[in-house]
Amino acid sequence: MSQEKIVAASIGDVPVVNYFWGGGPKQASSRQTIIAVRWGEIPVVRAILGLTTVMRVAHVWDTFNRPNAPLDADGRWVDYGTATTYRACIENTVARAGIPDGLTTQTQAVSYMRCATSKSTLDDGYIQCRVFSVGDTTGLKTYDTAVFAKVNDDFTAGVGIHLSGNTLGLVVRNNSIDTVVGTFGQFSTNDVIRITFNGDDYTVFCNSQQRGTWTDRLGQVVSDAGHRSLGIRVEGASGSDGVRAFSPALDHVELG
């Protein structure tokens, strides 16, 4: 197959680029994800170079490219609290806490949501997001966003990307408690963050540059068919002056 031409790749339903096997991937835009590649009429779900997987179809993703609304408004996401009013929402095609402008009574809202459209089919893979904006800090308080893989249906467990202010970390959720198990430098607006996982080994990347690794030596992360969902956590607040504060906003999340 080394000389065969992959004849179709698309962003949504829009063809974007021709591929040649071995010629290297070409992505039309850093803000978009190619979600379909075919060899003739056959969908390509995985590409392996030697012993290395170089491409795999994303199983779960969201670009938030739809009208402003609570994130769970159309059934794609399920709400798990703890906020009851100011939950995660879409605002101008990004995901963030749903703190309305001018609110003066909300000191802090924390919102967890799990993607309900589909799940990963494998224990190994990656979790990825693109940062739309870094998080705010008020006094000693920073506002945290997390993007989880390996989420169970109760959203009491998971592992993934932790974004606090502009600090990049890796977070483990166990029994509904989030614990940051490592930090890996800083991130900026428009950065693409990815954590790959293979067995107990996790590798953190920012814009394709490796930042570090973490090994789950204590067995904190559960990996089985009941823990394969995508989830997010966002925070926000509004002070007595009506000025809003947000954890980092996201314009793309992906579990593969």
For residue 28, pLDDT beyond 60: no
Residue 95 phi, psi (nearest 5): -95, 130
Token output for 146: 């997390």
Q: How many helices (H) and strands (E) are present in the chain, helices listed first?
A: 0, 27
In the chain, pLDDT over 90 holds for what percent of residues? 60
**pLDDT the model gives residue 108:** 79
Token output for 107: 């000191």
Q: Are strands 14-15 and 137-138 parallel, antiparallel or unpaired?
A: unpaired
Measured between alpha carbons, how far is residue 247 from residues 31, 149, 236 in Å? 20, 19, 6
**pLDDT the model gives residue 174:** 96
Max avg pLDDT among 38-42, 47-51, 103-107, 192-196: 192-196
Average pLDDT score over the chain: 83
Mean pLDDT confidence for 210-214 = 98
**pLDDT the model gives residue 42:** 61
CA angle 72, 75, 81 (to 5 degrees): 35
For residue 116, pLDDT beyond 90: yes
- Residue closest to 230 by CA, chosen among 116, 109, 135, 65: 116
For residue 137, pLDDT beyond 70: yes
> 204 near 184, Cβ under 8 Å?
yes
Residue 219 amino acid letter? G
Token output for 75: 């059934």
Q: Residue 85: which region, alpha, beta or left (left: phi > 0; alpha: psi -120 to 50)?
A: alpha
**pLDDT the model gives residue 128:** 95
pLDDT-based confidence at 197, cuts 50/70/90? very high
Alpha-carbon dihedral 99, 90, 33, 165, rounded to 10 degrees:
0
Read off the pLDDT of residues 9-19 as tens digits, 9 standing for 90 and up.
544 454 444 33
Judged by average pLDDT, the poorest of 66-80, 129-143, 185-199 is: 129-143
Who wins on pLDDT, 92 or 22? 92
Structural domains of the chain, with CATH? 5-56 (no CATH), 60-255 (2.60.120.560)
For residue 126, pLDDT beyond 70: yes
Q: Which run of H or of E encompasses 114? A: strand 109-115
How far apart CA 20 and CA 35 sit, in angstroms, is 17
> 89 near 74, Cβ under 8 Å?
no
Which residue matches tokens 């795999």? 56
Token output for 77: 């996401």
Measured between alpha carbons, how far is residue 230 from residues 159, 175, 227, 252 in Å? 10, 17, 9, 12
Looking at the DSSP assignment, which residues form a beta bridge with residue 90?
A: 69, 95
Q: What is the CA radius of gyration of the chain?
A: 19
